Amino acid sequence: PQYYYTKIADLKVSMLGEATKDAKNRAEQISQNTGSSIGALKSAKMGVFQITPLYSTEVSDYGINDTSSLEKEITAVVTCTFEIK
């Protein structure tokens, strides 16, 4: 059998929001460790969504849409560039 997740459109906006918050938190931590701070967001790009079997480590630059497992994990990828002060 094949198993498809059909409600990805319902999750995309909130997942991208969470991924963007995570990117900002990481940038803040890196900048603090170097005695700097982050400024304005200069650019943001939406990457691929990875729909993989639960606990999978598989990644792909063009995205994955697993149909072999019932339980899935969905990962959203964003790339954010911040100003450094």
Quick: pLDDT tens for 35-74: 999 999 999 999 989 999 999 998 888 889 999 999 999 9
* Distance, CA of 77 to CA of 50 (rounded, Å): 8
* Distance, CA of 18 to CA of 22 (rounded, Å): 6
The percent of residues above 70 in pLDDT, for the chain, comes to: 100
- At position 23, the amino acid (one-letter code) is A
Mean pLDDT of 23-40: 95
* Distance, CA of 15 to CA of 26 (rounded, Å): 16
How do 64-65 and 38-53 pair as beta strands? parallel
pLDDT of residue 40: 96
